[in-house]
């Protein structure tokens, strides 16, 4: 009986540790995705500002964009 109790107790501890590791991996994964999302967002904002400066303003940017898309 004593041996059976020890085996059952060990199984419960192992299952809790596995769940804890899975939770931590999920937290790290969400954090990594969030960081990459912020990096992409900042890069797109910098590209937009660079395009505005290079074209001479927002209206010129829109006009140049339509010219580039239509091939004119």
pLDDT tens-digit map of 19-53:
677 788 889 999 999 999 999 999 999 999 999 99
> How many whole angstroms separate alpha carbon 47 and alpha carbon 68?
16
pTM, full prediction: 0.60
Average pLDDT of the chain to the nearest whole number? 83
CA distances from 71 to 3, 23, 64 (A): 79, 51, 10
Q: With contact defined as beta carbons under 8 Å apart, do 53 and 45 qualify? A: no
What is the percent of the chain where pLDDT is above 70?
A: 74
Give the model's pLDDT for residue 70. Answer: 95
């Amino acid at each position: 009986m004593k041996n059976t109790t020890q085996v059952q107790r060990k199984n419960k501890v192992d299952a809790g540790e596995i769940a804890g590791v899975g939770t931590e991996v999920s937290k790290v994964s969400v954090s990594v995705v969030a960081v990459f999302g912020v990096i992409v967002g900042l890069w797109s904002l910098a590209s937009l500002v660079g395009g505005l400066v290079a074209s001479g303003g927002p209206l010129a940017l829109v006009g140049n964009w339509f010219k580039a898309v239509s091939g004119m």
